[in-house]
A and B are shown apart, each in its own frame.
Chain A
Amino acid sequence: MRYEKIKLVDENGLRIDGRKPDQLRPVKMEVSVLKNADGSAYVEQGNTRVLAAVYGPREVHPKHLTLPDRAILRTRYHMVPYSTDERKSPAPTRREIELSKVIREALESVIFVELYPRTTIDVFIEVIQADAGTRTAGLMAASLALADAGIPMKDLIAAVAIGKVDGTLVLDINQVEDEYGEADMPIAMMPSLGEIVLLQLNGVLSEEEFYEALKLAQKGIAQLYEFEKQALMKKYVEVKVEEV
């Protein structure tokens, strides 16, 4: 199918960016990065950069969109035009519509929506630089932003994409691995509870490979969860006591 075949895993078992198969890209996370939003976060994984903002719970107009027994969730996953190699039209693509849906469903399983009937919780994710793993980075940013907004939730969401490249399962794929690899499996979990909130597979895996991929994902998710917790704690640890 693909004409310029790139070697994605070298003879030493290292990946195109020098990582080991089970190694994450460098991670940066920060919360409360925006002034206006009720909660916000920034997540960077390798060259992927994502901003997320949360508003609410707040009243919805028109009112008939609300539900009498719970808050509704409105979610937009969006890539800005300059985030990709070729300019992406700002209008929502079919891909963005689908991802907004699976991200919304993932968030719905985490938030205690029943506490706030007749309201909406709005979650916005803007991918400002795309280098694979944008939905998983976006979900992490969204979960940090929700926590930052003080919205009661079961757990944070940690998420990562597993890939199969040159027959090897690898953790946290980058863009080249995504484009030329054989499979891409994004997965998101509530790590404390061991519950999967998002799972997709784009590509072909044998049953055994799938079980291996699940294990590899859990390893990455455990590490990402620690980064998330550190990012949240940092906000409080960095408040210096002003001694007089």
Chain B
Amino acid sequence: MPILVQHRQIVLPGQLLAEGKDVEVKAQHTIYRIGDKYYSSVIGLTDVQNGKRLSVIALEGFYFPKVDDIVIGMIIDTGLTSWTVDIRSPYLAILHASDVLSKPFNPLKDNLRKHLDIGDLVLAKIIQFDRTRSPVLTVKGKGLGKITKGVIVEIIPSRVPRVIGRKGSMINMVKEETKCQITIGLNGRIWIIGPTLTHEEVAILAIKKIERETHISGLTDRVKAFIREELKKRGLAK
């Protein structure tokens, strides 16, 4: 047997995962190789497909920027021609003034803080990142821009994929059950707008439950039942 771990098993840094040449390993930072031995580099959850395709999803950790990712950032500083944005990653992101302002921009007259101030949240897309320079954001695009209503819930970024679920199955279920609009920033910030504050509260509880129980199977059904129960408790469902 080339793969030495089960599907959906918790593994630890230094753990031998597989041995041999006919193992297909998804190249990523969670698995490393010495000779033909594959080891886990993180605390993670294994994903074994057809007994030969192996990957490890980190259970802990931070967000690492990738071009085209949608993230929710917070303005933490303004310069003359750009904003500095915290996207919960090792690198602070940049949002250029020219991206936000439509008319020509005069740094001597215009004050960027009138447009986006420190503490403001933005839904943005990463358009540039190569590790040698800071990630660059854009807010041009459908739905992107300043966030002015609703609530934000923060989760461990590496657990975002579980909140989304296979082909969006998990998050679509949560949206449907809670009647909330939910937008996921891949950096672990999730934006919720519900018909009432109570609906939003239930959605937050559900997302936190997914985050906490990421590694325990049967999650979708459990969360669905959980939401229904919580809504019932609050008199929002029968």
At the interface, yes or no: B131 with Cβ under 8 Å from chain A?
yes
* Most chain B beta-carbon contacts within 10 A, residue among A71, A148, A243, A244: A244
CB-CB under 8 A from A147, the residues of chain B are: 12-13, 42-43, 60
Instruction: Say which one of B29-37, B98-106, B192-200 lies at the interface with A.
Output: B29-37
At the interface, yes or no: A99 with Cβ under 8 Å from chain B?
no
Contacts of B6-60 to chain A: CB distance below 8 A: 10, 12-16, 29-30, 32, 34, 39, 41-43, 58-60
Please, which residue of chain B has its CB at the minimum distance from the CB of A115? Answer: B29
A242 lies within 8 A of B226 (CB)? yes
Please, which residue of chain A has its CB at the minimum distance from the CB of B28? Answer: A152
A117 lies within 8 A of B213 (CB)? no
Q: Which of A115, A117, A191 meets B132, CB within 8 Å? A: A117
A239 to B158 CA separation, bound complex (whole angstroms): 17
A156 lies within 8 A of B12 (CB)? yes
Whole-angstrom distance between the Cβ of B215 and the nearest chain A Cβ: 6
Chain A facing B: main interface SS = loop
Q: Which of B14, B61, B226, B229 meets A193, CB within 8 Å? A: B14
Q: Which of B15, B58, B226 meets A192, CB within 8 Å? A: B15
Assuming the contacts A57-B62, A68-B132, asked whether A112 and B41 have C-beta atoms less than 8 A apart, the reply is yes
A39 lies within 8 A of B60 (CB)? yes
Interface string of B208-228 (1 = CB under 8 A from A): 010011011000001001100
CB-CB under 8 A from A192, the residues of chain B are: 14-16, 39
Instruction: Say which one of A74-82, A166-174, A228-236 lies at the interface with B.
Output: A228-236
At the interface, yes or no: A43 with Cβ under 8 Å from chain B?
no
Contacts of B62-90 to chain A: CB distance below 8 A: 62, 90
Counting contact residues on chain A (CB < 8 A from B), the size range is 35 or more
A59 lies within 8 A of B91 (CB)? yes
Assuming the contacts A59-B90, A154-B39, asked whether A236 and B13 have C-beta atoms less than 8 A apart, the reply is no
A150 lies within 8 A of B91 (CB)? no
Whole-angstrom distance between the Cβ of B164 and the nearest chain A Cβ: 18
At the interface, yes or no: A38 with Cβ under 8 Å from chain B?
yes
A156 lies within 8 A of B213 (CB)? no
Whole-angstrom distance between the Cβ of A60 and the nearest chain B Cβ: 10
A151 lies within 8 A of B229 (CB)? no
A116 lies within 8 A of B216 (CB)? no
Assuming the contacts A150-B43, A151-B61, A244-B225, asked whether A116 and B90 have C-beta atoms less than 8 A apart, the reply is yes
A112 lies within 8 A of B32 (CB)? yes
A59 lies within 8 A of B12 (CB)? no
At the interface, yes or no: B92 with Cβ under 8 Å from chain A?
yes
Assuming the contacts A116-B90, A150-B58, asked whether A193 and B42 have C-beta atoms less than 8 A apart, the reply is no
A244 lies within 8 A of B14 (CB)? no
At the interface, yes or no: A15 with Cβ under 8 Å from chain B?
no
Please, which residue of chain A has its CB at the minimum distance from the CB of B44? Answer: A150
At the interface, yes or no: A9 with Cβ under 8 Å from chain B?
no
Please, which residue of chain B has its CB at the minimum distance from the CB of A152? Answer: B41
At the interface, yes or no: A241 with Cβ under 8 Å from chain B?
yes
Please, which residue of chain B has its CB at the minimum distance from the CB of A235? Answer: B43
CB-CB under 8 A from A242, the residues of chain B are: 209, 213, 222, 226
CB-CB under 8 A from A71, the residues of chain B are: 90
Assuming the contacts A150-B60, A150-B158, asked whether A191 and B14 have C-beta atoms less than 8 A apart, the reply is yes
CB-CB under 8 A from B41, the residues of chain A are: 112, 152-154
Taking Cβ atoms with an 8 Å cutoff, the residues of A that contact B are 38-39, 56-59, 68, 71, 112, 115-119, 147-156, 190-193, 229, 232-233, 236, 239, 241-244
A-B contact pairs, 26 of them (CB 8 A): A59-B92, A112-B32, A115-B29, A118-B91, A118-B132, A147-B13, A148-B43, A149-B61, A149-B62, A150-B62, A152-B30, A152-B32, A153-B41, A153-B42, A154-B14, A154-B39, A155-B39, A192-B14, A192-B15, A192-B16, A232-B12, A236-B59, A236-B215, A239-B212, A239-B215, A242-B226
Taking Cβ atoms with an 8 Å cutoff, the residues of B that contact A are 10, 12-16, 29-30, 32, 34, 39, 41-43, 58-62, 90-92, 131-132, 156, 158, 209, 212-213, 215-216, 222, 225-226, 229
Given contacts A57-B62, A147-B43, A152-B41, 13 further A-B contacts (CB under 8 A): A148-B43, A149-B61, A150-B156, A150-B158, A153-B42, A155-B39, A192-B15, A239-B212, A239-B216, A241-B216, A242-B226, A243-B222, A244-B222
- Nearest 4 A/B pairs, CB to CB: A150-B61, A155-B14, A150-B60, A57-B90
